[in-house]
Chain A
Amino acid sequence: MAPTAERTLDRHLVRFADALRAAGLAVPLISTLEFGRAVAEVGAERRDGVYWAGRATLVHRPEDIPLYDEVFEQQWLGALDRGRPATLPSPVTLLFDEPGGEPEEEVEPESPDGDVLSVRFSRVEVLSTRDFAECSDDELAELHGLMVRLRFAGESRRCRRMGPSARSGRLDLRRTVRAALRTGGETLSRRYLEPGERPRRLVLLLDVSGSMEAYARALIRFVHAVIVGRRDVEAFALGTRLTRLTRELSTRDPDAALARAAEAVTDWSGGTRLGDGLRLFNDGWGVRGMARGAVVVVLSDGWDRGDPAVMSEQMQRLSRVAHKVVWVNPLKAAPGYAPLAQGMAAALPHVDEFLEGHNLDSLEVLARAITAE
């Protein structure tokens, strides 16, 4: 890269980049410098020139375009001195009272057992069967540590990348010629190739609507544990909107990761538009390729305020491209549970495995379901 140390950037350009950062866009310093060079090329006189120069150098994802547009408007339409850019209007979320017994009421966090002498092992035993909805924050943090120990190696599939093989298969000419050199051009030993294996991608869709609140705070820790535990995992929060959490949750430090995720999800404990959320996922990510051949896990109680037909259609689309669809419903463990919630009933025909997810033991079952061939 050319040394750019002596470059002096226009104050306004730097301020613009700062404003973008303040608004939540990731703008590396390198991009700011590129922006400066780009503006020098197209000229700073024309507003459109500056706009497109910034679009080409500062924006790297289509999702960031509206934010960029907004900050651009503020910065370049004479509003330079308004100070900090206004934060984005937070969406208005309507809360409905769901009929039926969902764990909406605040669960009084129980004080950690007074028995300080309890040995670690038994504590694990107690915790592993404890319903997430009844866990205190401390217990959740402890559970988090246990979740990280679960193994999610995942199903593997054959991939197109070939690797060396001990068995005979496709001839590896490159290494065969190399070996022949050592024997004076005589191909005494032949070398072979075989297709390698890759883990299947794992996609986690976590319902963060109001009805799931008690479980979502535990399950998001589970999602984090999976993401840091293996490669090729994608995670999304489903609420009134769809939020991709893969980046936020890939920070190893659990507290930092959870804080970043909480910041990203603006509709935490909001309403439920499960079918619409799935549609957004299918349109924007899933059917395009992310869910193709992948194991998709939906963590949700199946409460959906939307049209069950939408739910059914979207689950069908998802199951058509995914290798396996697993639905994890924390309410399934409740005695006498039947999948009566409209969304759940609509989704079930398209689900390969229907599991519980209310405590650590059930997540272990889930981990096995993910890894099973």
Chain B
Amino acid sequence: MAGNVSPVSPHDVASVDDVIAALADQSYLADEGLATAVFLALRLRRPILLEGEAGVGKTEAAKALAAWSGGGLIRLQCYEGIDVAQAVYEWDYSRQLLHLRAAEAAGATEGVAVSDLEDELYDERFLVRRPLLRALSASGDDASTPPVLLIDEVDRADDEFEAFLLEILSEYAVTIPEIGEFRAEVPPLVVITSNRTRDVHDALKRRCLYHWLAHPSVEREVEILRVRAPHVSLALARDVALVAAELREMGLYKPPGVAETLDWAEALVLIGTDDLDPDAIEFTVGTLLKYREDQERARARGFGDILSAVLGA
């Protein structure tokens, strides 16, 4: 996948189809909705907010975008209690203290104003850059290909952090009191994902282009399986996708996502399955359904019954 130079760079895209083609180059099959959101994000310089069930490929989309742009992926995994020190910057305190002691030992602190000492300490060389600052200050060698900033599972962070994020995303700049402002020369392409454990604030949503990633259609899932797991035969991929689609209709606690169907197809190949049969499902169901209740429900209906329902028609 890596090293694949795409014909169109993210900043020259002229149509939604360009986006679809470029992402397909990265083995990511985007539908028109997602491609439109990405296209608009590139043209309007807006963040994308991706929501959807777990395992539908939200994070993968950001990775594919990064591989396409070549600007690298900077990932900020959100969690409860995340704050500026972990998301933006922190001072390297131990080195600061060492520096102070060293200066003192050399007698350099005699008669030096506190403000001068401060300037020395709060210098960029003592600055520890966290993901957000890295994304904004990535000028470096090639400023024309900004990184892709993935802010993963923003719903896990608390409201305070979200408000702070909004501030950064509206200006693509952050101010560090001791140094000054960092402003991105070319704003990074920002992808925010959320699992909807709580509602993301309206102001943040308004700032973003929104896309709800749903489970793929059977045809698309077959294509995805063929691209991501080329050694899975077309016939098996089709059966796998059909069964997955059927399971998603059964009202399970955790319907299988694309990640699970991919795992499942791999598992089926590993145990040497060519034609899907109830036994093969029984052996590999753990890769597909991750709740005991879900497995029991599927078993109660009978794997044979599910198979004949999707294949018999």
A residues contacting B by CB (< 8 A) are 1, 28, 30-31, 34, 37-38, 41-42, 48-49, 52-53, 55-57, 59-62, 65, 159-162, 173-174, 176-177, 180-182, 184-187, 198, 283, 287-290, 292, 313, 317
Question: In the complex, which residue of chain A has the Cβ closest to the Cβ of B202?
Answer: A60
The 6 A-B residue pairs with the shortest CB-CB distance in the complex, in nearest-first order = A289-B197, A160-B81, A185-B100, A173-B93, A52-B36, A161-B81
Please determine whether A56 and B210 come into contact, CB atoms closer than 8 angstroms: yes
Q: Which of B16, B44, B79, B197 contacts A37 (CB 8 A)?
A: B44
A216 to chain B minimum Cβ distance, whole angstroms, is 24
Contacts A28-B206, A185-B109, A288-B197; A42 near B117 (Cβ below 8 A):
no
Residues on the B chain within 8 Å of A184, using CB: 104, 109
Could you pull out 16 A-B pairs where Cβ atoms are within 8 angstroms?
Answer: A52-B16, A55-B33, A56-B209, A57-B210, A60-B202, A61-B199, A62-B212, A161-B81, A173-B91, A177-B93, A177-B121, A185-B101, A185-B104, A185-B117, A186-B104, A288-B197
Interface string of B41-69 (1 = CB under 8 A from A): 00110100001000000000000000000
Please determine whether B40 and A161 come into contact, CB atoms closer than 8 angstroms: no
Which one of A56, A185, A290 has the highest number of Cβ atoms from chain B below 10 Å of its Cβ? A56
Contacts A37-B44, A55-B211; A180 near B81 (Cβ below 8 A):
no
**CA of A65 to CA of B109 in the docked complex: distance in angstroms?**
65
**CA of A28 to CA of B82 in the docked complex: distance in angstroms?**
30
Number of interface residues of B (CB under 8 A): 51
B25 an interface residue at 8 Å Cβ cutoff?
Answer: no
B residues contacting A by CB (< 8 A) are 16, 32-33, 36-37, 39-40, 43-44, 46, 51, 79-83, 85, 90-91, 93-94, 96-97, 100-101, 103-104, 109, 114, 117-118, 121, 155-156, 158, 160, 170, 195-199, 202, 205-206, 209-212, 253, 293
B161 to chain A minimum Cβ distance, whole angstroms, is 9
A212 to chain B minimum Cβ distance, whole angstroms, is 26
**CA of A235 to CA of B2 in the docked complex: distance in angstroms?**
48
Please determine whether B253 and A56 come into contact, CB atoms closer than 8 angstroms: no
Contacts A160-B79, A181-B114, A289-B198; A52 near B32 (Cβ below 8 A):
yes
Residues on the B chain within 8 Å of A290, using CB: 197-198
Contacts A41-B44, A174-B93, A184-B109; A57 near B209 (Cβ below 8 A):
yes
Q: Which of A48, A53, A60, A61 contacts B40 (CB 8 A)?
A: A53
A157 to chain B minimum Cβ distance, whole angstroms, is 10
A150 to chain B minimum Cβ distance, whole angstroms, is 24
**CA of A171 to CA of B236 in the docked complex: distance in angstroms?**
57
Residues on the A chain within 8 Å of B156, using CB: 289
Question: In the complex, which residue of chain B has the Cβ closest to the Cβ of A201?
Answer: B198
**CA of A1 to CA of B101 in the docked complex: distance in angstroms?**
47
Please determine whether B36 and A49 come into contact, CB atoms closer than 8 angstroms: yes
Contacts A53-B40, A62-B51; A159 near B81 (Cβ below 8 A):
yes
Contacts A173-B94, A184-B109, A185-B100; A49 near B16 (Cβ below 8 A):
yes
**CA of A37 to CA of B41 in the docked complex: distance in angstroms?**
11
**CA of A158 to CA of B225 in the docked complex: distance in angstroms?**
44
Residues on the B chain within 8 Å of A65, using CB: 212
Q: Which of A53, A181, A289 contacts B195 (CB 8 A)?
A: A289
Contacts A62-B51, A177-B97, A181-B121; A42 near B39 (Cβ below 8 A):
yes
Please determine whether B91 and A174 come into contact, CB atoms closer than 8 angstroms: yes
Please determine whether B96 and A177 come into contact, CB atoms closer than 8 angstroms: yes
**CA of A160 to CA of B253 in the docked complex: distance in angstroms?**
29
A3 to chain B minimum Cβ distance, whole angstroms, is 15
Residues on the A chain within 8 Å of B85, using CB: 174
Please determine whether B33 and A180 come into contact, CB atoms closer than 8 angstroms: no
Q: Which of B40, B101, B195 contacts A56 (CB 8 A)?
A: B40
Please determine whether B253 and A283 come into contact, CB atoms closer than 8 angstroms: yes
Please determine whether A42 and B81 come into contact, CB atoms closer than 8 angstroms: no
Residues on the A chain within 8 Å of B197, using CB: 288-290, 292
Please determine whether A288 and B195 come into contact, CB atoms closer than 8 angstroms: yes
Residues on the A chain within 8 Å of B80, using CB: 159-161
Which one of B32, B40, B211 has the highest number of Cβ atoms from chain A below 10 Å of its Cβ? B40
Contacts A177-B96, A177-B97, A185-B101; A41 near B206 (Cβ below 8 A):
no
Please determine whether A42 and B16 come into contact, CB atoms closer than 8 angstroms: yes
Question: In the complex, which residue of chain B has the Cβ closest to the Cβ of A173?
Answer: B93
Please determine whether B114 and A52 come into contact, CB atoms closer than 8 angstroms: no
Please determine whether B44 and A187 come into contact, CB atoms closer than 8 angstroms: no
Please determine whether A30 and B206 come into contact, CB atoms closer than 8 angstroms: yes
Residues on the B chain within 8 Å of A317, using CB: 253
**CA of A346 to CA of B36 in the docked complex: distance in angstroms?**
48
Contacts A161-B158, A181-B117, A290-B197; A59 near B210 (Cβ below 8 A):
yes
Please determine whether B39 and A41 come into contact, CB atoms closer than 8 angstroms: yes
Q: Name 19 extra pairs, CB < 8 A, besides A173-B93, A180-B97.
A: A1-B170, A34-B44, A34-B46, A48-B32, A52-B32, A55-B33, A55-B211, A56-B36, A57-B210, A59-B210, A62-B212, A177-B93, A181-B100, A288-B196, A288-B197, A289-B195, A289-B197, A289-B198, A317-B253
Residues on the A chain within 8 Å of B43, using CB: 41
Q: Which of B40, B100, B160, B195 contacts A180 (CB 8 A)?
A: B100
Please determine whether B81 and A187 come into contact, CB atoms closer than 8 angstroms: no
A232 to chain B minimum Cβ distance, whole angstroms, is 9
